[in-house]
Amino acid sequence: MEKKKVIQIQNLSKMYKLYDRPSDRLKESLGLSRKKRYKEHYALRNVSFDIEEGECVGIIGTNGSGKSTILKIITGVLSKTEGDVKVDGRISALLELGAGFNMEYTGLENVYLNGTMIGFSEKEIDQRLDAILEFADIGDFIHQPVKMYSSGMFVRLAFAVAINIDPEILIVDEALSVGDVFFQAKCYHKFEEFKEQGKTILFVSHDLGSIAKYCDRVILLNKGVKLDEGTPKAMVDMYKQLLVNQDPVKQTSQETVQENWREGFQVNPDTLEYGEKQAEIIDYTVLDENGRQSNTIEKGTTFQIKMKVHFHEDIQEPIMAFTFKNVQGTEITGTNTMYEKVSVKHPEAGKECIVTFTQKMNLQGGEYLLSFGCTGYRDGDFTVFHRLYDACSITVISTKNTVGFYDMNSRVSVTQ
């Protein structure tokens, strides 16, 4: 049976008039000038998509791509310039931090204010109040003006109101990035409950791991235009290409690695490097399961790490290495040619070599930092020739995370 479409967007555009001087705006508003005194800026241009009942849909894109604008139009905060927007269901929205809250009111007063704005009676809010306060968990601060709240308390209360007033459609814009990890876990658990209940979720987030885990489908925007929509893995991969100024629409699944690897790959401009550079790491990249350069690797797939080394001096047996760290700086895993019993024998000055590490990605979904190293022995002493710390970020996309850093890939059987 065909599912009901609860949000329908057709040829939606939002145009802003940009004036060089305030006087130009005034002259136009008063009808004193026939000349067009503004430039047209389209935050959205001809965007179309549908969302079905029970879907969890993410919207991603670079800054200024129109993500928040489209959510504000759907919720009625902004008016559209052109196009059609149809919504079938009661919406609860958590957009910009503080939207819909009166800073002079107490938290409790804002609960009733927001509930009334959504369309609930005081009696209906009374019935949901305990659940809201329990979820927010801000204690006696509920009786204090919200202008005294920390950003964390603010978002806890705002989200508690949004998610506990029984919406049919929940819309969230980046708000979860403010709460602590335990509150975020609570919110995402609520997401899962909503999905099980057949409710619809639409959210914008820069947390690509959450996008991959919770979304059934992802919409990719760029400069106000919808580039594509599809699976989280495919859209996140296209998004990563946008970040390095590649055109993902023109890429093929079997793209050839370009000569200068780092030009087609997102690298850290503040990479920490040191060493005496008798041997120098002059290039590196990561290839996904399709052999394409990518900062995004899907958990469970086979991928490659490549590094190119130039030898300025004769080296006996250099050791090539890579290391993964989490964003807190803890080393998670890594290996080198010595551990793997692969010898790079007696490279001569002026020569180059390429070392390729091939492995299966078993790290949990999340963000990681990749470092490279070239070490060895010179005149009998261990020497660091060249190291690149935090050279690039790697996003692991996963639809199933387990406890800790690694997935044990357990096979489970139950006998009853």
How far, in Å, are 134, 143, 162, 226, 321 from residue 60 at the CA level? Answer: 31, 37, 22, 10, 34
**Residue 190 pLDDT:** 82
Q: Is the pLDDT of residue 252 over 50?
A: no
Per domain, the residue ranges of the chain are 1-89+195-251, 261-397
Identify the helix (H) or strand (E) that includes residue 191: helix 181-196
pTM equals 0.72
Chain CA centroid to CA 30, Å? 44
Rg (CA), the chain: 26
234 band by pLDDT with thresholds 50, 70 and 90: confident
Assigned token pair, 344: 């790079």
Tell me the pLDDT band of 251, cut-offs 50, 70 and 90. low
Right CATH for 261-397 from 3.30.565.10, 3.40.190.10, 3.40.50.150, 2.70.50.60 = 2.70.50.60
Closest CA to 245 of 47, 43, 62: 62
| Residue 118 confidence (pLDDT) above 80 | no
What average pLDDT does the segment 216-235 reach?
Answer: 93
Q: 22 or 311: whose pLDDT is higher?
A: 311
Bridge partners (DSSP) of residue 355 are: 307
Q: Does residue 207 sit in helix, strand or coil?
A: coil
The pLDDT tens digits for 27-80 are: 777 766 677 777 889 999 999 999 999 999 999 998 889 999 999 999 888 999
pLDDT (0 to 100) of residue 172: 87
Shared fold status for 1-89+195-251 and 261-397? no
Place of tokens 């995402």: 188
- Give me the mean pLDDT over the 339-353 stretch: 92
> Which of 371, 397, 384, 387 is closest to 267 using CA atoms?
371
Q: Assign 191 a pLDDT band (cuts: 50, 70, 90).
A: confident
Statement: residue 233 has pLDDT above 90: no
Distances (CA, A) of 374 to 211, 265, 292, 353, 389: 36, 21, 24, 12, 12
Please, which residues have CB within 8 angstroms of residue 78's CB and are 6 or more apart in sequence? 14, 69, 72
Residue 130 scores a pLDDT above 80: yes
| Top-confidence residue, 292 or 275 | 275
Q: Band of the pLDDT at 177, cuts 50, 70, 90?
A: low
| Structure token pair of residue 142 | 């509920």
Fold for 1-89+195-251, please state it.
Answer: Rossmann fold (3.40.50)
pLDDT at position 98 is 58
Beta-bridge partner residues of 106: 145
Residue 376 is predicted with a pLDDT of 93
> What average pLDDT score do residues 349-353 get?
95
Whether the CB-CB separation of 63 and 27 falls below 8 Å is answered with no
185 burial (CB, 10 Å; 0-12 / 13-18 / 19+) is exposed
Task: Name residue 344's beta-bridge partners.
Answer: none
Confidence of residue 178 (pLDDT cuts 50, 70, 90): low
Q: Which of the pair, 263 or 74, is modelled with greater confidence?
A: 74
Residue 126, helix vs strand vs coil: helix
Question: 171 with 191: CB under 8 angstroms?
Answer: no
Place 179 in a pLDDT band, splitting at 50, 70 and 90.
low
Phi, psi of 319 (to 5 degrees): -115, 120
Report the C-alpha gap between 133 and 124 in whole angstroms: 15
pLDDT bin (cut points 50, 70, 90) of residue 243 is confident
Q: What is the pLDDT of residue 213?
A: 78
User: Which residues neighbour 239 within 8 Å (Cβ) at sequence distance 6 or greater?
Assistant: 60, 61, 62, 208, 220, 248
